[in-house]
Each structure stands twice: as C-alpha cells, then as structure tokens.
Chain A
Amino acid sequence: MDWLTALLAAVALPAGAAAIGLVWKARTGRVRAATDDLATRDLGLAGDALGVSATLVQFSTEYCSRCPATARQLASIAGDYPGVRHVEVDLTHRPEVADRFHVLQTPTTLILDGGGALTARIAGVPRAHDVRDRLDELTGRSRVPS
C-alpha cells in the first residue's frame, strides 16, 4: 500500500469536488444578455401565449429535479407583474428545440420582451432577484424598495 498517494487522493478528491461545486454555485442561475428575434416563431408559441410586456420561457425535462420548483418560482414572480407570463416547455420529447436553442442543461429560462424577441437567458435555477431586475426593466416598473 502506497500510503502517501492514498492520503493525497483522500485529500485532493474532496477538495477538488468542493472547488468544482463552489464554482458551479457561483455561476449557475445568472441572467445573461442574449438576442434572437425568431425565438417565438421557433418555439411554436402562439401570440396569445406571450405576455404583453415580457414572457419567461422555461425549458424542463422529466429528468430534472429542480424544474418543478423553478416553475413555481417563475410563475409566482410572473404573477407579481401584470403583462408578464410564464410558459414551461418540456424538452424531453422535443430534442430539436433543445438543439435550436442550444440548451445544455435544465432548467434553462429565456426572457422574451413584449414583442416576443429574446433579450436574456438563464442557465440553471434562476436567481429571483436578477429575474425581477430584468422584468423591472422590460415592464418599465421602477424598483420598489422592500
């Protein structure tokens, strides 16, 4: 038994995994700017499925344990804004949509403006505060300090 190598593995593996986890946690769920004018057409969303000011399009699959909670979170945020709607799109049986929108993980959320054009996307469980900031911009609502 090579004790030094064994000890090294025993320390390095948990440390490395913890570092990966911290980096992942710091990066996931952030709102990033994006543009795509044909998003609504290629999502196959009817005009009346869109919100007047903005739409949160959430991509999910059946194998995503964080998606149901994210759907509730986004629906609740959308409910706070008149003119904002939340739409959930299940990609489990629609891989061509995943290809079209380069979805690498779920939940992934697209933020569309009132015209249905893509303005931003979020990979991972969204940060509620960031989503609200973006919706404040799109709906022209000034922030109410809470």
Chain B
Amino acid sequence: MSHPESAGIDPRGPRFTAGITAVLLLVVAVLGFGGAALAAWVLLAALSALFAWAAFAGVRRHPFGLLFKRFVRPRLAPPEELEDPRPPTFAQGVGFAVTVVGVILGAAGLTLAVPIAASFAFIAAFLNAVFGYCLGCQLYLLLVRARVIPRT
C-alpha cells in the first residue's frame, strides 16, 4: 500500500527550494563577477553537491525541502493537490549539470566560468520560484530529441 504522502509532494516545496537556491546562486554570481573568485567557487561547489544529492537521492531528501516540510508547511493550508516528484528531481539534475561545469572550469583556472554557470542556474531557479516555470516541461523533450538524453 502506498501512503498518499509518499505518492506525491507538496508542489510548494520545490518552489521554496528554488527560491533559496536562487538567492544562493545570485550570491555566487555577485561574488564571482565582483572578483571574489575563491568564495564564489566554494559556494558553487557546495550548491552543485546539493543539486547532485537531490538529483540522485530524490528531491524528497533535499535539505531545503525538508526545511520546508518541517517549518513552513505546518503553517500553510494543505495543498490542493500533490505533485509527482520526478519533474523537480529532473530539474535538480539539470542544475547539477550546469553548476558542475562551472565548478570544473573554475578549478581549472577559468574563474569567470563560475559566475557564468551560476547565472544560468540562477535564471532557471528564479523562473521556477517566481513564475512556476518547470524545467522538465521545457527541457526534457528537447534533450531527448537532441539525443542528449538516451531514447528508451
């Protein structure tokens, strides 16, 4: 028997997560473009690890999502409906792919790659948090059609 709690997630959880992530990515971009290369790199590496964790362990185990569940959700009315966790988990994977490129190039000495990667990830997280933009809706088929994601 599947518990309703495990069948879906509160759709406001991923948006809460995206909001915090967007702020932190903006901090990376501001630090990076401002010349604080090491601080920017360290923070982006941490965010990239967080994206990887959520993408591979599932978005339900995202620390910000747990924060939402513990402290924010009890103060809100129950959601009208629960959502499939796969779309936000996919979005976390895209976030990881983008930020890890910045981390690797940054480690190789291309310091500007760090704030540039953070900027792209920031735009996606901001659009998700503010406009409800869903990367899985916009990007999944494109990546499959471009053969970036293998066809099943």
Contacts and interface: CB of A to CB of B under 8 A. Distances in A.
B33 interface: yes
Contacts of A140: none
A1 B36 contact: yes
Interface in A2-23: 2-3, 5-6, 8-10, 13-14, 16-18, 20-21
Contact of B133 (A8, A24, A103): A24
A93 B140 CA distance: 12
B117 to A, nearest CB: 13
B107 interface: no
Contacts of B36: 1
Contact of B34 (A9, A13, A64): A9
Contact of A105 (B87, B119, B138): B138
Contacts of A99: 145
A67 interface: yes
A75 interface: no
Contacts of B136: 61, 63-65
Contacts of B24: none
A66 B134 contact: yes
Contacts, number: 106
B141 A98 contact: yes
B35 interface: yes
Contact of A10 (B30, B86, B131): B30
A64 B145 contact: no
Contacts of B86: 62-63
B29 interface: yes
Interface stretch (B42-50, B62-70, B120-128): B120-128
Given A20-B127, A24-B127, A65-B136, A13 B145 contact: no
Given A9-B30, A14-B26, 13 more contacts: A2-B35, A13-B123, A17-B122, A63-B136, A65-B83, A65-B84, A65-B87, A65-B136, A66-B132, A66-B134, A95-B141, A98-B144, A104-B141
Interface of A: 1-3, 5-6, 8-10, 13-14, 16-18, 20-21, 24-25, 61-69, 91-93, 95, 98-99, 103-107, 124
8 contacts: A2-B33, A9-B119, A13-B119, A65-B88, A66-B137, A98-B141, A105-B137, A105-B138
